[in-house]
Chain A
Amino acid sequence: MSNNEAESILRLEGVSRHYVQGDQEVSALEDVSFAAARGEFIAVAGPSGSGKTTLLNVCAGLDRPTSGRVWLGNRDLSELNRHQLARLRLEEVGFIFQAFNLIPVLSAEENAEFILLLRGVPDGERREKVGALLKEVGLEGMEHRRPGQLSGGQQQRVAVARAIAAEPKLVLADEPTANLDTDTAFSLLNLMERLNREHGTTFLFSTHDPRVMQRAHRIIHLLDGRIESDQRAAVRQM
């Protein structure tokens, strides 16, 4: 194992994911290999159907590769059962989705503290942390609103607060800005970037928006399930 591999928070080796649709086998990912180091801010770019969502799902253990291996930290996901994978996600991975995906019956505050609740963080500590986070994402005063009472941008901020509240090592975001207006999208990107910078959280997010790609420190281009390019950019100064 090289030093880079040892330091990587996420590593994929020869990952392929094939689906069977009717009589045909469809390849969503084909021989994908890369590693993400701690604190990286990586965009996975590519057109619709290029395999971005499948890649993120495979990275989180939500989907199993047909072949190849995925390591999260030093744990080989292929060796974990569904229960262990869920525990691993709870402990180490934060998720932000294109479709916001908040739990509709919980308030903004309850959604944001959801992971902490499952981890058994004491009430006081949890409330304090979530209160500060909601303030940080600009949702102060909206703590008790249900997702249905929040705008798309506000819901996505709650999702970000939920994803980072438990200080995961890795945040996976599937087209987090796709359903947001430009201002809200950039404000969200600023927030993600700040969290990356200040907390050292590794971000791996998919996008096909060139404006979002510009903000990434590294861009992995996917085309038809294969890595077309893996480029590093100069870190943008805020």
Chain B
Amino acid sequence: MNSLKIIMMIAWRNLWRNRRRTILTAGTVSLGLGLLLLFLGIGDGSHRQMIQGAVGMGSAHVAVQARGYQVRGGIELTLSASQVAQVSSWLQSRREELGVTHVLRRVFAPGLASSADGATGIRLIGLEPDPEKAASAFDEKLVQGKFLTSAEEYGAVIGEGVARKLELEPGEKFVVMAQEAGSAEIQSLLLRVAGIMRTGLEDFDQATILVPLPTAQRLLRLGDNVHQVALMLNQLDDSEEIARLGEEQLPPETETLSWLELMPELRDFIKIDDGASYVFNALFFLIIAFLVANTLLMSVLERRREFALLDALGFTPTRRFLLVILEASWIAVLSVAVGTVLGYAGHLYFYHKGLPLDIFYSSEVSAGGAVLDPILYSYLSWRRIAGAAIMVFALTFLLALLPAWRGAKGQDAHLLGQL
């Protein structure tokens, strides 16, 4: 214990023999860690914005559907009223515990919309106007007119692209046709444009029509059945766990999916973006690593006589190895402390103020089926901070191995006589 104490003490004091070099080395690593945390925060923040944006555009954090609906998407694959009731009772006792903020019933169907000026293929979404207004972002995307209400049974909110193709304005009428569930019959319905929305998602705006849930159920002859019970959560990170619980505890004819399965394109985009970010960060740290490795090695080589002295005094190779590792570890401790403060401070700034990228792109840019917000807000989890800190420790340890081996090697007794 005593010897470890003195090795730690010597290691610490050795750092401050060349104060400028230590500050520069620790400063470089701190800055690197700070920037890494900043990049991770902004990257994760932008991903979360994209996910939340997509969830607000008709998707969900977690969704319960008839098993197979996600893959096949058949109109007839519905949840019956009793299955919906089962989902409600499953949630009832634990809604607060699971952090479920909204439960939304939805119906989806492909169809054809036509007006006096033309026709276009559409995707019809039947939803509950009031809960959806509170939980989704459709309402905020209206550029003309107003959102759906339960009272307006035949009102519809249409995408800007649909409006353009059919030359529709709020208040004008158009017809929607769709195949009814379980038969080849085509049903049609006359609707009136309540509002026009622009989400920034080209495909979505070109084809989406929102109608009240009962209207869609009537058109598709679904009765009380729905295609999806969407759950909105307080915490995005809980999605997978809640989906897992649903899979375990809800009837086997249903499937409970997290946003990762509901939006595979977005999930894959985030994976690719994360991968590119990891490669960039790794290259960035590799450059820093070379600088630190050089500094550590130099600091050992210029103390060859001192290591020879320690050897002569009975300081075993293991202890000399440990001494260099501890010197590097002290640098890592300092760097992680300062770097975390720097990174967290940067995160806090961009968490509150955001990083404006609107000079590079407008809000209409989308990727992976989600709109990229032109102002990116940082999101930094403790898991990310811990991961980055562990990486710095591990990297410093690896970088210290060669200098430590050199320090442990000794065999410089001839230097002891030199003044």
Contacts and interface: CB of A to CB of B under 8 A. Distances in A.
B419 interface: yes
Interface string A93-130: 10101110101111000100011011011010000000
Given A60-B312, A86-B316, A118 B416 contact: no
A95 to B, nearest CB: 5
Given A57-B413, A97-B417, A101-B416, A118 B312 contact: no
A98 B305 CA distance: 13
A13 interface: no
Nearest to A95: B312
B401 to A, nearest CB: 18
B134 to A, nearest CB: 65
B94 interface: no
A175 B417 contact: yes
Interface in B288-340: 305-306, 308-319
Most chain B C-beta atoms within 10 Å of own C-beta, residue among A63, A91, A103, A117: A103
Given A53-B417, A86-B315, A87-B314, A117 B3 contact: yes
A174 B317 CA distance: 23
A185 interface: no
Interface in B80-136: none
A99 B419 contact: yes
Nearest to B305: A101
A93 B2 CA distance: 20
A104 B13 CA distance: 9
A115 B313 contact: yes
Contact of B312 (A89, A105, A123): A89
Interface in A34-93: 53, 57, 60, 62-63, 82-83, 86-91, 93
Contacts of B410: 82
A179 B14 CA distance: 26
Interface string B256-288: 000000000000000000000000000000000
A98 B2 CA distance: 29
B17 A105 contact: yes
Interface string B404-419: 0000001001101111
Contacts of B416: 53, 57, 62, 97, 99, 101, 174
Interface string B1-21: 111011000100110010000
A218 B306 CA distance: 32
A91 B2 CA distance: 16
Contacts of A162: 313
B316 A174 contact: no
Contacts of A121: 2
Given A86-B317, A106-B10, A175-B417, A118 B17 contact: no
Contact of B2 (A83, A88, A120, A175): A120
B233 to A, nearest CB: 55
A120 B2 CA distance: 6
Contacts of B311: 62, 86
A62 B312 CA distance: 7
A101 B309 contact: yes
A63 B413 contact: yes
Contacts of B319: 118
Nearest to A116: B2
Contacts of A95: 312-313
A7 to B, nearest CB: 24
B158 to A, nearest CB: 76
A115 B413 CA distance: 18
A6 B398 CA distance: 48
Given A82-B316, A86-B315, 6 more contacts: A62-B312, A82-B317, A89-B312, A99-B417, A99-B419, A121-B2
Interface of A: 53, 57, 60, 62-63, 82-83, 86-91, 93, 95, 97-99, 101, 103-106, 110, 114-115, 117-118, 120-121, 123, 162, 174-175, 179
23 contacts: A62-B308, A83-B318, A86-B311, A86-B315, A87-B314, A87-B316, A90-B316, A95-B312, A97-B312, A98-B417, A99-B416, A99-B418, A99-B419, A101-B416, A103-B310, A104-B306, A105-B14, A106-B13, A114-B313, A118-B2, A118-B6, A162-B313, A175-B417
